[in-house]
Structure 1
């Protein structure tokens, strides 16, 4: 079949009019490129089920197809570039039938036998299907595939439905080829990844089952707010969060909750998948853990609302939570509303990791509610499973408030010392905390979404918050958007994950605003002092742009060293020694400190340096 081809990739005895069809369920997201022939697409981030075959002349192009959890894209590959000619964004978390139909160089997409979108007609004289079934080395398809068919004509909706569940004999008229499972690149796949597992082929749903399927994402003008909730092993806390959203004063027909189970190993899938709330609810289950940034991007891409609310899976909300977020976004398209800094701490479960001392504390707090108190008294210590202190009725009655309403002291340093618009606070982007924050969808898309290099815990929210800040975002921290964080065990690995991600944050933004974070994390200064130090440093540089150039270099070097010490976990006492300062460097630094002291405006900056100098 591949003998009559270009480069062993393009099937040149077919051109301009042909049809691919296959059953597929992806296991990873792919890059969403802009549908256009005016600008080449990025070559990375594809999840090819049909790999790319490039044209060899200026007059032809080859077709490829990429399918991810977040949609389907048809590409055309010319001699020099790749173009996204049909882009369809949707959540694909089940086995579906896909048909890519080319009709005289114009692509069309059908899903489960129904037409969904038409793409851009090719300006090339010849468009060929690719024979790279299953992708290409480094970009092989990640997911389940069941039978790829290639026809030498334009299949109609009726054609597709007639053969949707029919087993082919191989002798059908106009059938060019059929691959029961991808085999063309089988040897290459084994070479590329010796550990590749044989994929289990999913059973195709029957016609009746397809009729009962929840449809893929479609445009719905009524949805105004999309609440994105990633969850990893947070049952039963995540269910309490979903319950609290049932009692919102906001119109439930205008809000949707996108719940993404990031490959949890607890009871989340069993208990949440079939959940039927009064609001629009979309459950997505990742077979493999994608990480915090990718999961949130998956939620963004599937969201139908123009306003996005990011909410942690363990956050119980007040009834006016959605309504207030929605109302505040009506005036400014670059507004970011945050309520996370006013979160309260409650205990809705007793976990096996909790000590007897902690359980006694919870018991003492709950004495003002006899029903909850009696549940605690019934608890047998120790326990192998989480012990629930709440029921659904308790969420409606706000009984959870009787389980502790502690606040976070670190956030109080900000909320007690700065106004709601954070004027005077040098780090307003710290308010982008995905436990409770909202933003307009087009603004976060303009910023480029969450950086997917951040996989594990920490700083992926501050990183995009910082990017948005530099794009002119206005942050508002509201004390009427309180959420209740349900306490749960936190593993010791979180510290190392966060420090590693801090290093990644710094690598991407080697700015003084980020470098300075190390002095607070290391304990050299508290948050308010760090804020003052940064403000004084910027004023010094602005007021004396030429006078303290060497001092600026030394200060940056000191901050870099502090962060490096945190990352590699070496507890240097002598920071200047760790930074490689010679005796002459130290002398020059002291002279600069004395000169800056003489200006009588930079006391916090010089005090910090004196502290570092003698450490």
Structure 2
């Protein structure tokens, strides 16, 4: 098989450098992988991403660069797929640093999965381990919080290009944060594709240590995720989707109670969060902050849902 690794990126040059260097250092132990290309889709970056890619292209022999205006990850991934030479696509994010066995592990799991199931309707999903260690991201151990029950997520997944094309690629209406990959997963599941877990294909997802300055952006992301959740629900109005996007009475009740109706928020919890950060526990502070972040998400879902209903009433 020939892999096309598609990486959308937007203003992430420092970690993108580590991401690409790791992909250029793959150790292939047999002939399952005929070759690979790395397609970086720049989504309108305004940092030095394009300059660096141009200046260091001799050190990045597998890398091809595509450019688009800032349209979001869904459009960027579609552009990458449309230019891909490989029969098998791997999606990762530009803040993921993989091990040298990454490609071989996906190849082994795909071959084994096809043989076991007697079908090529399979795709593989590797481990994604979250880390705030920029210097040595691959030293982070796997944690219970790294577990994902997602059926199809683009953080670390390998799938035959033909199934993406048959499913219709990503829906570019998902221009804000969230859900474009899980929505495509619903369509892939309808095609009968089976998920093969591949823990040997490890990627380390880097993010800076949590601090209070990140909170406004995190709140905006949760509101965006809520809005995109309604786009998801419009396409697939099922109970499963309502559960995923937190558009149920149970979610409203849960996060309403935990946040005391929104009274536990970024302002009232600031002293506690800063105290935890000062103690060297930024990850714990972030997990506690998710109380009000999830409340913002639920509020965003229902606000977008009301907007949708109003638009439908006007049209009718």
- Report the TM-score when normalising by structure 2: 0.70
Partner of 2:186: 466
Show CA shifts across 1:464-496 (max 9, x none).
011101211101222212210111376231111
Cα RMSD of the aligned pairs, angstroms, is: 2.6
Given the superposition, is the C-alpha separation of residues 511 and 226 from structure 1 closer, same or farther in structure 2, using an over 3 Å criterion? same
**Aligned partners of 1:312 and 1:500: how far apart in 2?**
22
Q: Which residue of 1 aligns with 2:235?
A: 508
Q: How does 1:221-370 map to 2 (within 5 A)?
A: 224-250=2-28, 254-274=35-55, 275-277=57-59, 279-286=61-68, 288-330=69-111, 331=114, 332-339=119-126, 342-349=127-134
The structure with the largest helix share of the pair is: 2
SS at match of 1:344: strand
SS at match of 1:478: strand
Give the Cα–Cα distance (whole angstroms) in 2 for the partners of residues 485 and 260 of structure 1. 18
Structure 2: distance between partners of 1:434 and 1:319: 19
**Count of equivalent residues:** 243
Is the counterpart of residue 567 in structure 1 residue 288 in structure 2?
A: no
Show the counterpart of 2:266: none
Answer yes or no: is the 8 Å Cα contact 1:343–1:408 preserved in 2: no
Partner of 2:199: 479
Instruction: Pick closer, same or farther for the CA change 1:467–1:294 going to 2, 3 Å.
Output: same
Q: Is the 8 A contact 2:96 2:203 kept in 1?
A: yes
What is the aligned counterpart of 1:442 among 142, 154, 162?
Answer: 162
Displacement, 1:406?
Answer: 5.5
Alignment of 1:401 onto 2:138:
yes
Q: Given that residues 225 and 326 in structure 1 are in contact (C-alpha distance below 8 angstroms), is that contact kept between their aligned partners in structure 2?
A: no
Which one scores higher on RCO, CA 8 angstroms, separation ≥ 6?
2
Q: Deviations over 1:216-269 (max 9, x none)?
A: xxxxxxx71100000011110001000101211137971000001111111211
Q: Secondary structure at the match of 1:479?
A: strand
Alignment map for 1:45-56 (pairs within 5 Å): none
Cα-to-partner distance string for 1:571-596 (whole Å, 9 max, x where unaligned): xxxxxxxxxxxxxxxxxxxxxxxxxx
Query: 1:80-95 to 2 correspondence within 5 Å?
Result: none
CA distance in 1, matches of 2:45, 2:20: 17
C-alpha distance in 1, partners of 2:26/2:5? Answer: 12
Structure 1 residues 268, 473: closer, same or farther in 2, change over 3 A?
Answer: same
Equivalent residues of 2:129, 2:146 under 8 A apart = no
Q: Structure 2: where are the runs of 5+ without partners? A: 256-296, 305-316
Larger Rg: 1
Q: Is 1:248–1:321's contact at 8 Å kept on the other side of the alignment?
A: yes
Give the CA deviation at 1:523. 6.8
Q: Tell me how far 1:522 sits from its aligned partner.
A: 4.4
Q: 1:521 to 1:255 in 2, by over 3 A?
A: farther
Cα deviation, residue 508, structure 1: 0.5
> Unaligned 5+ residue runs, structure 1?
1-222, 350-389, 391-398, 415-429, 526-562, 571-615
Aligned residues of 2:36 and 2:62 also touching (Cα < 8 A): yes
Q: Deviation of residue 513 (structure 1)?
A: 1.6
The yes-or-no answer on 1:411 pairing with 2:147 is: yes
Once the two structures are superposed, the pairs formed by residues 151-190 of structure 1 within 5 Å of their partners are none
CA distance in 2, matches of 1:522, 1:471: 33
Distance 1:509 1:283, change over 3 A: same
* 1:253-300 deviation digits (Å, cap 9, x = unpaired): 7100000111111121121233334642201122x2121111100000
